[in-house]
A = this chain, B = another copy of it.
Amino acid sequence: MTTEIINIGDELLIGQVINTNASWMAEQLNLAGFRVNQVSVIRDDREHILAAMAEAESRAEIVLISGGIGPTRDDITKHTMCEFFNTQLVFNMDAYHDVEEIFARRGYPVTELNRQQAELPENCLSIENKLGTARGMWFEKERDGGGKTIFVSMPGVPFEMKAMMTGHIIPWLKKTFQTPFIYHKTMLTQGIGESFLAAQIDDWEKALPGHIKLAYLPQPGIVRLRLTGTGKEEQIIRQQVDDEINKLESLIREYIFGFDGDTLEESIGQFLKERNATLATAESCTGGYIAHLITSVPGSSVYFKGSLVAYSNEIKKNILGVLPESLQKYGAVSKEVVSEMAIAAQTMFDVDYAIATSGIAGPDGGTADKPVGTTWIAIATPEEVFAKQFTFGDSRDRNIRRTALQALNMLRKKLIM
């Protein structure tokens, strides 16, 4: 089944909003066995919407459309849908009750704009929306050459769209179509660049069978390797992809930190929970970002006690108790200071493990000796404290992110030993 996504919204085309809807929708469709062929982002404009829908219809059996059906004046999608499907808006009492309910819950009266959202195209199947006032719309259209295309229109607000996709659209699509089997498995690596990975796994890659494909997905600090197998027999495809993953694993074991949706912060959380151990951080250059990653995991309060973001030398001395001599002699970005920070966090928060960072995130603060990107990371365990120096790049954001990932992976490696 060829599937296309159309995201409507001028805001996406002037770059003020990042199109996270497309990637989320694509991921869900893939997991359900629907291959996404193309994503088109278009203007919130009658003619453009009509043209894009006609083009998508010529290529795809399923067209999912998001955006352009909010309560405000810049949304014209619903009227254009009526034109494309040759129908008209009618007032839908169920939809109106939902709108009323949402407003009652919030303790506000229904506005006229929101009342109009209960008007829906006559020939669509409407899709309920418990989180917002715009319903989804499911249309089926016969094609000139025979067969039909399913069009589904939904709101652009991410959490409304997600609830609608998960609760209604994906289950309905699965019921309607029989899909070929697609199996993805992604290996996550940290601490090695794309071309060096490629050189290390070249022989293995060349020997891959034709129906299994490899893709490199680099991000700051991380390279993901995705294997995709396609075929009729689910069990065989799974087995073949898993076998190839095992071979690959043996080639680059030291760089792998997980699979698929794993994150370093989640695996660390798992390890700590399993051993009833606790963690804290003392952060300088990462400024709380490591604590943020760790606490983004639900339930992290079981093992994470806290963090001291020490963004000045005074705080390092007065609160963490870093020795003034160490700061003077070696500087804040040094093995000595970062090690003292890790040990201090361990004591202060009374935890088993501690992470400490100190570096020059940039753009200012670099010297000939210690250029921007110079970073020290220390890990304190119940047995020891160890520290390592890294030289990252010029970008502040990337340096913060790479330092955090490197630090989490250093801790992870200790935890699995």
A-side residues, CB < 8 A to B, are 10-20, 22-30, 35-44, 48, 52, 55, 70-74, 108, 111, 113-114, 133, 157, 159, 184, 186, 194-196, 198-199, 205, 213-219, 224, 226, 228, 281, 283, 286-292, 294-296, 298-301, 304-312, 314-315, 318-319, 348-350, 362-364, 395-398, 400
Q: Which residues of B contact A184 (CB under 8 A)?
A: 14
Given contacts A24-B15, A226-B16, A295-B309, contact A70 B287 (CB under 8 A): no
Q: Which residues of B contact A216 (CB under 8 A)?
A: 70, 72, 74
By secondary structure, the A interface counts as mixed
Contact of A304 among B108, B306, B311, B314 (CB under 8 A): B311
Contact of A395 among B11, B13, B159, B299 (CB under 8 A): B159
Give complex CA distance A22, B9 in Å: 13
Sample of 9 further A-B pairs with CB below 8 A, known A15-B23, A16-B23, A296-B400: A12-B22, A14-B36, A16-B226, A19-B23, A19-B39, A38-B41, A287-B292, A301-B311, A319-B349
The 9 closest A-B pairs by CB, nearest first: A287-B295, A15-B27, A288-B291, A288-B288, A15-B26, A39-B41, A307-B309, A15-B23, A288-B292
Contact across chains for A14 and B27 when beta carbons are under 8 A apart = yes
Q: How far is the CB of A358 from chain B (nearest CB, A)?
A: 12
Contact across chains for B306 and A295 when beta carbons are under 8 A apart = no
Contact across chains for A291 and B319 when beta carbons are under 8 A apart = no
Q: Which of A28, A306, A315 has the most CB of B within 10 A?
A: A306
Q: Which residues of B contact A398 (CB under 8 A)?
A: 159
